[in-house]
Amino acid sequence: MRKATIERQTTETQLTATLDVDGTGAYDIKTGVGFLDHMLEQLARHSLADITLRAKGDLHIDFHHTTEDSGIALGQAFAKALGDRKGIRRYASLDLAMDETLVRAAIDVSGRPYLVWNVNFTRDKIGDFDTELVREWFQAFAMNAGVTLHVGLLHGENNHHIAEACFKALARVLREATEIDPRQKDRIPSTKGSLAG
């Protein structure tokens, strides 16, 4: 059972995240930030991880803390659910197309957190959501999931499409990299014998 629940309580946010890596893509997400909910629903659906997330944050200030802390909580849930990472494929990469947008994502579920982000937006907001918060979410997720993640925009014009393609691309590489490889299901995919960082 690769499943975990994380509770995160601060003076800025209160979150509970439950994640099942081997799910069906079911989701029940309520953060109070509509665009963020939409992106996290894409993450669940296309990774086939089941995600339940409840967040209450200081939205009267802005969406920053709720967005960042949801990335932290979901990253921690992924790391906890994967445990010692025995048997996973570990690596994955993908070019994902969405209309005029093309995003490349590559991941190493290594235990060594790192984010390379080569995505630019042409507007400050998508609706009432600050586009700079997309990177903040990915940074928080990568650091707490313990993954090396590269995300690059190869082409795109519509800012909604750009953000959504980034989340979908992450979902697909997460799905592939965390699947159990039947050829090494009882081994950790590292010559070190550990993916603890």
What CATH number has the domain bearing residue 145? 3.30.230.40
Judge whether 109 lies within some domain. Answer: yes
Judge whether 188 lies within some domain. Answer: no
Judge whether 194 lies within some domain. Answer: no
Range of the domain at 84: 3-178
Judge whether 193 lies within some domain. Answer: no
Judge whether 134 lies within some domain. Answer: yes
- Say if residue 196's pLDDT is above 80: no
pLDDT band at residue 197 using 50, 70 and 90 as cut-offs: low
Q: How many domains does the chain have?
A: 1
- The pLDDT tens digits for 118-169 are 999 999 999 999 999 999 999 999 999 999 999 999 999 999 999 999 999 9
Judge whether 191 lies within some domain. Answer: no
Task: Transcribe the chain into DSSP letters.
Answer: --EEEEEEE-SSEEEEEEEETTS-S-EEEE-S-HHHHHHHHHHHHHHT-EEEEEEEE-TTT-SHHHHHHHHHHHHHHHHHHHTT-TTB--EEEEEEEETTEEEEEEEE-SS--EEEEE---SSSEETTEETHHHHHHHHHHHHHHT-EEEEEEEE---HHHHHHHHHHHHHHHHHHHHSB-TTSTTS-SSTTS----
Judge whether 195 lies within some domain. Answer: no
Mean pLDDT of 60-81: 97
pLDDT band at residue 189 using 50, 70 and 90 as cut-offs: confident
Judge whether 189 lies within some domain. Answer: no
